[in-house]
Amino acid sequence: MTALARIGGRGSFPPALLAVAAIPGLLVALPVAYALMRSGEAGFAGVVRELTRPMTLELLSNTLTLAVCVTVLTVILGIAAAWLTERCDIPLPGLWRVVASAPLAMPALVSSYAWSSLGPQFQGMGGAIGILTLACVPLVYLPVAAALRTLDPGFEDVARSLGRGPWSTFFTIVVPQAAPAMLGGALLVSSHMLAEFGALAFLQVQTFTTAIFQQYEMQFDNATAALFSSVLLAMTVPLALGEMRLRHGRRFSRSGKGTARDAQIIKLGWMRIPAVAGFGLFGVLAIGVPFWMLIYWLFTGTSVGMGLERLAPAIAGSLSYSLSGGLVTTLLAIPLVLASMRLRGWLVTTAERLPYVIHGLPGLVVALALVFFAIRYVPPLYQSPALVVIAYVMLYLPLAQSAIRASAELVPPELEDVARTLGKGPFTAFMEVTLPNLLPGVGASLAMVVLQLMRELTATLLLAPSGVVTLATEFWTYTNDRAFAAAAPFAAVLVIVSGVPVYIFTLRTLRRS
């Protein structure tokens, strides 16, 4: 395969954008290079010795246990919730759609803080699996619900006409059709579990991510931390390849005449009571308990009122860094997505897939890599806002890619070819024809990335210039000192900031037409 070639019939690609598309690939290669360079310094014998230590094997076991258990439970709950709200006659389906999506408004960091403050009985691996499962259900529920809403029910009608019952039809017809959405959500959950740090620190669970942070606290630029990062990197590769395989295998239209009709709503009968009770229990555990504990700590404790003067600077810091990071990430994702759709070759393929590998790494690893290269090669960049924004781009570029690609796939590239025949240059054709059609995806990308950056902790904690604070870093500082009441106002603002867009998104996208 050539290094770079145009895909026939896929529109033009301005040369200027090609240069910009290369930037993300160069950035996300830094953590890979850092992990491999620092790990290699230990030598083959040192690497083998470190990897076979009982502590390393325990970290591997904990990391895999957490990722597998949370992913499996999230898939089960997400599919069940989507099936009940989209295909069954459950009472008040609109309310339960909101309940199933609501954990997005409660960052896992805040939810874990709330549960752990109830007592040590909610900590440990069991507590972490339960709490993080509740937090991650929307990552599977939302795509599966959207898939169920758009599936052509004709296949289900054929299955029933052949004598299959509702459950047999569900498992043999519906689940395979919704598999791309389900597996895509599962891969996202798994990558989140590999990168999770703050919630696990509260819940006293040791994984590679928490061990990397501890190694960093003991000695900056620690070779052991780099080796653990390499192991995490190896674990993210299958997830990235799986995501790419799913995405390239999707279909975007049905075959046949006319339009798909609404699916038949299944009568639950006596099962409506346990179904409603299940949603109610989920809402209490995922939102009710954390929200109640947050209210409790706002007014209770010896540290009530402490640090309130830092709330306004933290809000300003969060907004300035998240908005700038979201804007830069989105702008860099546009040419990268278009290049992957209109050009082929190993250079484009590598540049597109690398961000998905890095997405599974904790922000701490990315921050360590940036500090390492900045100090050694670009000293003025160290302790600068630009370095924080670069870390944001590296961490959340895949979110922007996914949102923009969803819009780009609906824009026929031949429109640019028509503009070219009318005398427009490649860049002018892109600006006047393609870019306006990408705006929905651009808006979605900006919203998703900014929302995630408002919650980002580890990269900001390590890279932000002295004196700069955000809601997440202040929340971490006070909870780390066991000042739960002082941390509550920062957590409350994080929930409010997250809740408003989540509520609007839920109303707009999950409302049955």
Instruction: Give the pLDDT score at 216.
Output: 73
In a domain, 259, yes or no: no
pLDDT at 14: 56
Q: For residue 171, tell me if it sits in a domain.
A: yes
Residue 257, domain member (yes or no): no
H or E element: which one contains 343? strand 343-344
Range of the domain at 383: 5-247+270-509
- C-alpha pair distances (Å), 305 with each of 185, 300, 311, 470, 478: 40, 10, 11, 18, 12
Residue 189 lies in a domain: yes
Say if CB 187 and CB 143 are below 8 A apart: no
The torsion region of residue 40 among left (phi > 0), alpha (psi -120 to 50) and beta comes to alpha
Instruction: Phi first, then psi: give them for residue 413, nearest 5 degrees.
Output: -65, -20
Classify residue 326 by burial, with Cβ atoms within 10 Å: 0-12, 13-18, 19+: buried
Examine residue 197 and state whether it is found in any structural domain, yes or no.
Answer: yes
The answer to whether position 53 is within a domain reads: yes
Tens place of pLDDT for every residue, the chain, 513 residues? 455 545 444 545 556 566 666 676 677 778 878 877 777 776 777 777 777 788 888 999 999 999 999 999 999 999 999 888 887 888 888 888 888 888 888 888 899 999 988 888 888 999 999 999 999 998 888 888 877 776 666 666 666 666 666 666 776 777 777 777 777 788 888 888 888 888 898 898 999 888 888 877 666 556 777 788 888 878 877 776 666 666 554 444 444 444 455 667 777 788 889 999 999 999 999 999 999 999 999 888 778 878 888 899 999 999 999 999 999 998 888 888 877 776 766 666 666 777 777 776 778 888 888 888 888 888 888 889 999 999 998 888 887 887 787 667 666 666 666 656 666 666 666 666 667 767 777 887 788 788 888 888 888 988 888 888 899 999 998 888 888 889 999 999 988 887 776 666 665 555 543
**Residue 260 located in a structural domain:** no
Angle among Cα 438, 441, 446 to the nearest 5 degrees reads 120
| Strand (E) or helix (H) holding 473 | helix 471-480
Q: Does 497 reside within a domain?
A: yes
The rounded distance, in Å, linking the Cα atoms of 309 and 384 is 24
**Number of domains within the chain:** 1
pTM across the whole model: 0.81
Q: What is the dihedral of CA 211, 187, 344, 337, to 10 degrees?
A: -90
Q: How many CA atoms lie within 13 A of 140 on its CB side?
A: 27
Q: What is the number of residues in the chain?
A: 513
Predicted confidence at residue 277, as pLDDT, reads 93
Helix residue ranges, H only, 249-310? 272-283, 289-299
Question: Residue 314 half-sphere exposure, CB side, CA atoms within 13 Å?
Answer: 27
Distance from the Cα of residue 391 to its chain's centroid: 15
Provide the sign of the torsion angle of the four alpha carbons 7, 11, 16, 18, taken in this order. Answer: negative
Alpha-carbon separation of residue 395 from 8, 74, 187, 391, 404 (angstroms): 32, 23, 16, 6, 16
CATH of the domain at 60: 1.10.3720.10
Question: What is the spatial distance between Cα 95 and Cα 92, in angstroms, rounded to a whole number?
Answer: 5
| Distances, alpha carbon 208 to alpha carbons 108, 223, 297, 419, in Å | 18, 14, 31, 52
Query: Considering only CA atoms, which of 14, 5, 20 is closest in space to residue 430?
Result: 14
